[in-house]
Amino acid sequence: MQKAYKETGMNDIFETIKQVAFEIDTAIKTSDLGYSDSENSSGEDQLKLDVQSDIIIEKAFANVASVKALVSEEKEGVLELSETGKYTVCYDPLDGSSLVNVNLSVGSIFGIYEGELEGKNLVASAYVVYGPRVELVIATRDSKPMLSRVIAGKFKEIGEIFMNEKGKLNASGGTQQNWSDYHKAFIDSLFAEGYRLRYSGGMVPDLHQIMLKGGGLFSYPGTTDKPNGKLRQLFEVIPFALMYEQAGGEAINNKGMRLLELLPAHPHDTSPCFFGSKYEITALRKAYGIKA
Ligand code: P6P
């Protein structure tokens, strides 16, 4: 019997995520979209909005008793908050932020860990999509992803998300000229089957769309310019792996390893990642010569 996420003792964390969602949505609509004079730990230029979103989240979690520490895409290491806290929250405060100034959807991603920061210790994940509507999805190890939407200024639960065995959408990330031949042949084979390209360059809306539209494949492979992929394990890849597995899909790396079993070498470690319905992930294993 699946347990609703509210019964998990992490409700103070989920309520805090709802609070910061409103604050960051307001910041997106009112702040200066210029660049700050700093870079994040992945060497990416930081928008003032990145820094502002990070501060909003850090301030909000500073008073949440169950939170032991924070890891942010916008900061180097682990920020210790409380010795009595139970969970470490790893987050990307505004993923895809460079899309804001072309008015595309962006998101915040949260991975909630208990113990060492590795895939098997992820106990829940959440993400917020800032689009035409503000939506929140929360999943735990015991619950399917639950979709909520801001209606009349409040988050209202819409329903659980589940994915079909096979989908129709193909979100193929990474610079195509740097794909391996077998990855290119695999992606082309899906298009030859009639899949439709749906890729905005924002991980949150791209993965959200595939889950809501019943399935398909999101891929960000290792490439010649980024052999270990681009997406960060702790606060991008592992949190979405829980979402996809709990929605009935699969989430693996280029060696067939479940992304929920990843062991990050450091807080900003990356991994090639594939998220999808069972049919597409099975086809990927075949294309990559991986035994199931
Ligand atoms: P590319 C945004 O910068 C991001 O981190 C993810 O949101 C997105 O999936 C990916 O990078 C896009 O990367 O190389 O396809 O532009």
- DSSP codes of every residue in 64-133: -TTEEEEEETTSSSEEE--TT--EEEEEEEEETGGGGGGT--EEEEEEEESSSSSGGGEEEEEEEEESSS
Alpha-carbon distance of 286 to 194, in angstroms, equals: 19
Alpha-carbon distance of 9 to 12, in angstroms, equals: 8
Measure 288 CA to ligand 1 centroid, in angstroms. 22
Please state the atom number of ligand 1 nearest to the C-alpha of residue 95: 7
Tokens 């890849």 locate to 237
> Which residues on adjacent β-strands are paired with residue 122?
113
Tokens 């994915």 locate to 163
User: For 117-130, how does the pLDDT look when each residue is reduced to its tens digit (9 = 90+)?
Assistant: 999 999 999 999 99
Write out the CATH class of domain 169-288: alpha beta
Q: Which of 33, 148, 149, 155 is nearest to 102 (CA)?
A: 33
Count of C-beta atoms within a 10 Å radius of residue 268: 19
Phi, psi of 22 (to 5 degrees): -65, -40
Phi, psi of 149 (to 5 degrees): -135, 140
Which helix (DSSP H) or strand (DSSP E) does residue 3 occupy? none
3-state secondary structure of 241: helix
Measure 96 CA to ligand 1 centroid, in angstroms. 6
CATH number for domain 8-160, candidates 1.10.3720.10, 3.30.930.10, 3.40.190.10, 3.30.540.10: 3.30.540.10
| Residue 204 and residue 106 in contact, taking contact as beta carbons nearer than 8 Å | yes
User: For 177-217, how does the pLDDT look when each residue is reduced to its tens digit (9 = 90+)?
Assistant: 999 999 999 999 999 999 999 999 999 999 999 999 989 99
Domain boundaries, the chain: 8-160, 169-288
Q: Which of 274, 196, 283, 215 is nearest to 240 (CA)?
A: 274
Q: Which of 58, 128, 134, 53 is nearest to 89 (CA)?
A: 58
Count of C-beta atoms within a 10 Å radius of residue 269: 16
Please state the atom number of ligand 1 nearest to the C-alpha of residue 92: 5
Atom 12 in ligand 1: which residue has the minimum CA distance? 201
pTM for the complete prediction? Answer: 0.95
Phi, psi of 206 (to 5 degrees): -65, -45
Please state the atom number of ligand 1 nearest to the C-alpha of residue 206: 9
Measure 227 CA to ligand 1 centroid, in angstroms. 15
Alpha-carbon distance of 256 to 275, in angstroms, equals: 12
Measure 259 CA to ligand 1 centroid, in angstroms. 18
Per-residue pLDDT at 262: 98
User: For 124-157, how does the pLDDT look when each residue is reduced to its tens digit (9 = 90+)?
Assistant: 999 999 999 999 999 999 999 999 999 999 999 9
| Residue 217 and residue 277 in contact, taking contact as beta carbons nearer than 8 Å | yes
Per-residue pLDDT at 144: 96
Residues with CB under 6 A from ligand 1: 95-96, 173-174, 201-203, 230
> Which residues on adjacent β-strands are paired with residue 218?
171, 275
User: For 38-87, how does the pLDDT look when each residue is reduced to its tens digit (9 = 90+)?
Assistant: 877 777 777 789 999 999 999 999 999 999 999 999 999 999 999 999 99
Measure 173 CA to ligand 1 centroid, in angstroms. 7
Atom 16 in ligand 1: which residue has the minimum CA distance? 201
Atom 3 in ligand 1: which residue has the minimum CA distance? 96
Residue 1 clears pLDDT 60, i.e. is over it: no
Alpha-carbon distance of 189 to 11, in angstroms, equals: 43
